[in-house]
Structure 1
Amino acid sequence: MDNLTIKTKFSYAMGSIGANLAYSIVAVFLMYYYTDVVGLSAAFVGALFFFARFFDAFTDPIMGMIVDNTKTRFGKFRPWLIIGALLNSVLLIVTFSAHLIPSEWLIVYATISYVLWGITFTIIDIPFWSMVPAITRSRDSRESLVVWLRLAASLVAMTFGAYGLKMAGFFGGADLGRGFEITSYIVIALFVICMFVMAINVKEVPVKQKKTARFNIKDVARIIISNDQLVALIGLVLAYNCSFHFINGFAIYYFSYALGNPEYFAIFMVVSGAAEVLGVYLFPRLSKLITRRRMWYLACIFPVICSCILFVTNIVDAPSAFMIASAGAAFKMGIGLANGLSTVMLADVVDYGEAKNGVRSEAIIFSIQTMLAKSSSAFGGLAIGLILSALSYIPQVDQSVETVNGMKATIVIIPVILMVVSTLVYWKFYKMKDGFNPGLKDSNLIETGKEVEAC
């Protein structure tokens, strides 16, 4: 039964809008800003993204530990939402001011500002997602809440992906650097307002734990390693997210240079964003028609369909807007389903870890979600930078035939390989395909990892 009020869901969704505005401008456009506006090399930017996000990913469990150890009259989550929003806002402005820095200091400036941006975003992202299992223990409520959060996130991604570059052009004219700078100010204003709305109106439900000791670094490692279903979830989601971040980051180069039409990127992002919204919306409804154990397989099929359509666009002389839109729809429909399902799966993993180890640690376990997003972003950014360098990519000029052909092959092959890996890990190692059954005893899944169905 869904026991959350509309006010709570709406306020939580407002937080999702704010956080994803701050995230989307970086995730979608920062690499383009660095390479085509600031003038940094693609290889350096790819290496920077890898180093910064990979390092930042491993600070997530530490932030989870800090949140789980926090005890205030406002709860353990809400204070960090405000602190994180304010700090991250400052670093977002700093990050999108790189075009103002002299060239001799640019590499150092970009490195420091981007690393610090990632760390400050961790401060908000961990408590944001960790509150999902903390405000309700009802599975129906969680699934309903996740739809609100993911719908808000998808709407932001769709809108900003389609119009972010146009906004920068509108505000900056020929000076895209100034355009991105002004856009970041607008994002920050909305970001802070939304986070205050969430912090005021969304409150956790106190949970009596079997153990009340404070967590330390060793506890973080033990909680992760001892939870075999969490380890399996890490593998299957990491492969999936790597595919998503690669396509998401590579698309602007592919459509602009390989297909020679930057307008295709806007079409792809608008339709893919709408498809993600639809996927999130359909998730709880499809879960009633299609068992949860089959949902991940379905989510993995859609990106493969996207790659197949992009393969066709590679071999036709003039791909139609309908083909581009179809590829975008297939791409993000799967993402919408995967995002909804993976968040619910993480909540199941929290319950499973409590049943197995006697300790409930929402923030530490949910920090894995952001750790996976950042790790996959790191690998995706590194792959894009290295591939563009290997293909002899040169910004703002027509590319050679070899470069174009390489781009066309890459955007098809890599996502398919990663989807196969994700599917195999889910099939072989993840056992709670129908959710965690709180009635299970030690002789069942808790001790053996035996695959069972929820009642």
Structure 2
Amino acid sequence: MKTSDNDLSIKEKIAYGCGDLSSNLLWGLTSTYLMYYYTDIYRLPVASVAWILLIARVFDALCDPLIGIFMDRKGGLIVPRLLTYLSIPFGVAGFLCFLPLPLPGNGKVIWAGATYILFGAVYSCINTPYGAMATMISQTSKGRIDLNSFRMIGCQVGKFCVAFLTIPAVEWLGGEETLSQRQFGFVAFVFLLCCAGSILWFVVVKTCILRFPPQAATYSFRYIMKSLIKNRNWHLCNALVFVQFICLSAFSGFIFYYAKCNLGRSESVASLTLTIGVLSGLLGAMLCPFFTKRLGLFRTGLALSVLQGIAYILIFLSKSSLVEFAGSLIVLTFAQGVLSPLYYVLLAKAVDYSHADDHVDLAGISYALNTLVTKIAGGITGFILSLFLSFGHYDANQSSPTGDVALWVLAGFVWLPLACVAIQFILFLLYSSTDDGPRIKSAAGSSDIRAYK
């Protein structure tokens, strides 16, 4: 086993990014299309969809901490085994989410809720150890920024595949004339994604090298939680992730409704604008190291938060103009793409603080709870957005939605995330003003303070 991470190869960085590529082929599909699938394809009541998205997060509140504690108890070498054992169940659970069983009465609601909860549990058990891998592969700030940049590139590639292929593939595989054809198209397309997603996890396991796997923790749960609770940076990082994922969830969850209700466009146009946005986000993730090298971590966060806010205002001002909307969307998703890798670097930094202060390795529980934060943000956002549709009396069969629906969709797509961007800016100010320098090594082996400032 190698003891230095100064020679991280492009191959290993790409392989690490394959993990988030797999996650976003399936989890990204649920984030973008699951609400639309429930309301327009599986034809569930909007109110039921809201509760499904929220209740699933209650189960995650139990699952995510348990997998984190399990990882810490077993040590870092359990990670490759978890990824191997769960790769196929991950694909199966994702497939069941989009399997439209023709059940009577409330059977469809129960089936949808059960399969979504199952998929969320499997996702937690595979994505939490994957997220913690970066701290085990590299201990340098440069190495971690590079790894998480490739992770976000994989994330954006997965989102691109979902955005660009879903609607055309569903129509090609099943047809678009009847509801049953569209349902079959979804099932066939999701099956292909699930196969690809399961295979990609084996690429991660085969290629990535755990150079610094932590030993099995022997501390009590109370001592571990005490160390986390007093870790101010960990709290700020989770708060930043929470508001950012509300923005991401509002964008992916409402883009089709915004195109239909506010722009008066078809699903194909919504898919095209989503694809353009994903490509812009991919460019942003690729340029993240460029910005952090010149501006530093926190100034990059502050500048891109402001850019996000400007983009949301431009979207509001674009009204029904597709060209102006697309331009504003490019600015928004570029900013989100640059910001995405930063949160994982901040989380790795928070883990290092706990290790330096209390000599406790908390990678497992830290990443597990961070994953829980992202899913709670997505669940709450989905619940709020579903309520907004209900308040506007959204009807999937209505070709020309009423003005009330358009106002509620605007509130969910623009005003809710804009408020979160304002909070995000304040959190970056708090983080940078209270930071006393990281405690991880630079590539040269010395304390790398400037890399974060």
Q: TM-score, normalised by structure 2?
A: 0.90
Which of 168, 172, 175 in structure 1 is aligned with 2:174? 172
Partner of residue 126, structure 1: 128
**Corresponding position: 1:293 with 2:295:** no
Partner of residue 190, structure 1: 196
State the 1:105 CA deviation.
1.1
**Is the CA contact 2:297–2:452 (under 8 Å) kept in the aligned structure 1?**
no
Partner of residue 444, structure 2: none
Q: Any idea what the Cα deviations from partners look like across 1:290-348, whole Å, max 9, x if unmatched?
A: 1222111122123322221221222xxx513x323212212211211221111111111
Moved more, 243-252 or 428-437: 428-437
Alignment of 1:370-449 (within 5 A): 370-397=371-398, 398-429=400-431, 431=433, 436-438=438-440
Provide the secondary structure at the position in 1 that maps to 2:264: coil
**Corresponding position: 1:270 with 2:275:** yes
Tell me, in whole angstroms, the C-alpha distance in 2 between the residues paired with 1:381 and 1:23. Answer: 14
**Is the CA contact 2:298–2:432 (under 8 Å) kept in the aligned structure 1?**
no
Partner of residue 210, structure 2: 204
Partner of residue 108, structure 1: 110
Q: Any idea what the Cα deviations from partners look like across 1:374-431, whole Å, max 9, x if unmatched?
A: 0110111011111110111111312112222332344222111111112112212555
**Is the CA contact 2:355–2:361 (under 8 Å) kept in the aligned structure 1?**
yes
Classify 1:270/1:435 alpha carbon distance in 2 versus 1 (closer, same or farther; 3 Å): farther
Tell me, in whole angstroms, the C-alpha distance in 1 between the residues paired with 2:318 and 2:97. Answer: 35
State the 1:432 CA deviation.
6.4
Partner of residue 222, structure 1: 226
**Is the CA contact 2:349–2:440 (under 8 Å) kept in the aligned structure 1?**
no
State the 1:138 CA deviation.
1.3
Provide the secondary structure at the position in 1 that maps to 2:78: coil
Partner of residue 97, structure 1: 99
Which of 45, 60, 84 in structure 2 is aligned with 1:56? 60
Structure 2 residue runs without a partner (length 5+) = 442-448
Alignment of 1:69-108 (within 5 A): 69-71=73-75, 75-108=77-110
Identity, % of aligned positions: 21
CA RMSD of aligned residues (A): 2.3
Which of 62, 68, 71 in structure 2 is aligned with 1:67? 71
Letter in 2 for 1:191: G
Partner of residue 162, structure 1: 164
Letter in 1 for 2:13: K
Letter in 2 for 1:24: G
Partner of residue 316, structure 2: 311
State the 1:24 CA deviation.
1.6
Tell me, in whole angstroms, the C-alpha distance in 2 between the residues paired with 1:281 and 1:2. Answer: 20
**Corresponding position: 1:18 with 2:22:** yes
Partner of residue 40, structure 1: 44
Letter in 1 for 2:160: M
State the 1:218 CA deviation.
3.2
Letter in 2 for 1:190: A
**Is the CA contact 1:275–1:329 (under 8 Å) kept in the aligned structure 2?**
yes
Tell me, in whole angstroms, the C-alpha distance in 2 between the residues paired with 1:356 and 1:42. Answer: 48
Q: Any idea what the Cα deviations from partners look like across 1:228-251, whole Å, max 9, x if unmatched?
A: 110111112211211221122011
Classify 1:86/1:58 alpha carbon distance in 2 versus 1 (closer, same or farther; 3 Å): same
Partner of residue 445, structure 2: none
Partner of residue 153, structure 2: 151
Partner of residue 326, structure 1: 327
Q: Any idea what the Cα deviations from partners look like across 1:63-119, whole Å, max 9, x if unmatched?
A: 1111122259xx221111122222222212221113433344111111111111100
**Is the CA contact 2:167–2:271 (under 8 Å) kept in the aligned structure 1?**
no
Tell me, in whole angstroms, the C-alpha distance in 2 between the residues paired with 1:57 and 1:296. Answer: 28
**Is the CA contact 2:72–2:361 (under 8 Å) kept in the aligned structure 1?**
no
**Is the CA contact 2:39–2:396 (under 8 Å) kept in the aligned structure 1?**
yes
Tell me, in whole angstroms, the C-alpha distance in 2 between the residues paired with 1:219 and 1:118. Answer: 28
**Is the CA contact 2:139–2:440 (under 8 Å) kept in the aligned structure 1?**
no
Tell me, in whole angstroms, the C-alpha distance in 2 between the residues paired with 1:44 and 1:276. Answer: 32
**Is the CA contact 1:146–1:344 (under 8 Å) kept in the aligned structure 2?**
yes
**How many equivalent residue pairs?**
436
Tell me, in whole angstroms, the C-alpha distance in 1 between the residues paired with 2:332 and 2:57. Answer: 23
**Is the CA contact 2:21–2:155 (under 8 Å) kept in the aligned structure 1?**
yes
Tell me, in whole angstroms, the C-alpha distance in 2 between the residues paired with 1:220 and 1:59. Answer: 17
Q: Any idea what the Cα deviations from partners look like across 1:13-63, whole Å, max 9, x if unmatched?
A: 222222221212211111111110111112211221112034314522221
Classify 1:220/1:271 alpha carbon distance in 2 versus 1 (closer, same or farther; 3 Å): farther
Structure 1 residue runs without a partner (length 5+) = 440-450
Letter in 2 for 1:420: A
Partner of residue 443, structure 1: none
Tell me, in whole angstroms, the C-alpha distance in 1 between the residues paired with 2:317 and 2:191. Answer: 40
Classify 1:208/1:61 alpha carbon distance in 2 versus 1 (closer, same or farther; 3 Å): closer
Partner of residue 356, structure 1: 357
**Is the CA contact 2:306–2:425 (under 8 Å) kept in the aligned structure 1?**
no
Provide the secondary structure at the position in 2 that maps to 1:77: helix
**Is the CA contact 1:432–1:453 (under 8 Å) kept in the aligned structure 2?**
no
Q: TM-score, normalised by structure 1?
A: 0.89
Provide the secondary structure at the position in 2 that maps to 1:11: helix
Tell me, in whole angstroms, the C-alpha distance in 2 between the residues paired with 1:323 and 1:54. Answer: 39
**Is the CA contact 2:296–2:452 (under 8 Å) kept in the aligned structure 1?**
no
Provide the secondary structure at the position in 1 that maps to 2:265: coil
**Is the CA contact 1:303–1:415 (under 8 Å) kept in the aligned structure 2?**
no
**Is the CA contact 1:52–1:118 (under 8 Å) kept in the aligned structure 2?**
yes
Classify 1:375/1:261 alpha carbon distance in 2 versus 1 (closer, same or farther; 3 Å): same
Tell me, in whole angstroms, the C-alpha distance in 1 between the residues paired with 2:107 and 2:452. Answer: 57
